[in-house]
Structure 1
């Protein structure tokens, strides 16, 4: 794996992928490329029936897309060139997860914001630690809207009013509220979340041949190309505005992408 950004363990039909991009697991271009290569490799592995995603960092699942991601322009160009027609490179990550032949499960023990929250929404199943699992689409505080599929994924899971609350309210949601809204499957006491997810993954992996494929085919996700196009156009209309650049610069100067800053990033961004 690139710079050990992803840790992989495979046993009994279950692949466990652990994000490890210190200090706060930002979604960098390098991480996206490593994830793309790994998922492509696993897609052809007939022995793997379930993929569980978790984090080596107890505080953060994926903090958000790296604010400095434009420093990896060569990687971004590579990812965009290989993205399916009609999708930007960030949307392509979510759709790659949704197209994976295995059942994908997120084990959320820390915070997932922005692109990290979109990752959670793209997975087949997601379970959060009641005390520490948290989600936020905080892009509005940066002067933009989500651009990696959130408008589409959340619209499949929630009412329009709740999606607007998530995106425009830009608050950090606790696991219990996220479960109530349909953002995740359920919130589980932290002491039990490992046992629950491991048991579920093992049971799914042990199903007779063909059951998973049939279920995923019957319940295949809908890709609304016009919806993704509208999301991308809305995001692009904002992301290169001077005010957005100003917010990003000041955020970095005031502690964004450090552990202390990211634990209260909504507060930090509202103060700019």
Structure 2
């Protein structure tokens, strides 16, 4: 198989395992270009029977995928081209999650740093996810921007956790450490950072070495839930909030205050809360 030219993904394949390193500086924002490369790679690998497992990780130890690009507020059609290559869904961000879930290979996320918003949705859409105890963090921060998760996040959380925990994640809008994310069922397992690489590598190789047909049979026997109705509800709720003045003010203000820069992203929840304190009507 010849891999396409990819500028934001570093791909190596060995012993049936494709390792995909995300490298979209400075913080791995999920922009249209990165989404397009992910779809291209998934499409190419889908038809390669020699690849049994796909492992996603980041070139930046601090950030896996930060979140969807906030500058889309000025370019709302930026994902339209990518959407044409994705499954039918109320919006392209949901469609990307559905595309990842439909991959015939087993998909694994190795999470060392932070993943918020669309990045956290990508983690939840993968088949398996493992995180570093000391450094990994997950957050659905959309409420702090005046909106809700719109890339299947509410539905994926409902699938993985309880309703109460999903509401806590969505409305509390905090960054969850790996131990709590494991306890809530958001990820498979939290491991010491020193053990994460070895564990994921061993698991991926062991699964890739299984007899032909076993992975496909397991994914058929354990299908993901049908999210169609829930995705439409989520999209309607998300889109309805997106048109309100608070969302635009928080997104534009967040960018001005340092969102999508390494310093701003490390404490993004605090940045957005301070911003809302300034903007909140008195």
Same fold (TM over 0.5): yes
| Partners of 1:30 and 1:75 within 8 A in 2 | no
1:207-247 superposed Cα distances (whole Å, 9 cap, x missing partner): 00110010000111122211000000000001122211111
In structure 2, the residue matched to 1:20 is 23
Q: Does 1:253 align with 2:238?
A: no
1:210 counterpart = 2:213: yes
User: Match for residue 267 of structure 1?
Assistant: 270
1:113 corresponds in structure 2 to 116
Tell me, what secondary structure is at the counterpart of 2:210?
coil
Q: Which of 50, 55, 60 is the equivalent residue of 1:52?
A: 55
Task: Spell out the pairing of 1:1-272 with structure 2 (5 A cutoff).
Answer: 4-70=7-73, 75-272=78-275
| Of 67-76 and 120-129, the range deviating more from structure 2 | 67-76
Shift of residue 78 of structure 1? Answer: 1.5
How many Å apart are 1:3 and its aligned residue? 6.3
Which runs of 5 or more structure 2 residues have no equivalent in the other structure?
276-282
Q: Distance in 2 between matches of 1:84 and 1:102?
A: 17
Superposed CA RMSD in Å reads 1.3
2:190 counterpart SS class: strand
CA distance in structure 1 between the partners assigned to 2:47 and 2:232 by the alignment: 30
Q: How far off its partner does 1:194 sit?
A: 0.1
**Deviation per residue, 1:51-94 (Å, 9 max, x gap):** 00000001000010010135555541112334433431000111
Taking the aligned partners of 2:162 and 2:146, their CA distance within structure 1 comes to 24
Distance between the aligned counterparts of 2:180 and 2:188, measured in 1?
Answer: 11
CA distance in 1, matches of 2:5, 2:232: 31
Distance 1:122 1:24 in 2: 20
SS at match of 2:64: strand
Distance in 2 (alpha carbons) for counterparts of 1:67 and 1:86? 21
Quote the Cα distance in structure 2 between the aligned partners of 1:240 and 1:196.
44
State the distance in 1 between where 2:188 and 2:72 align: 31
Q: Which runs of 5+ in 1 are unaligned?
A: none
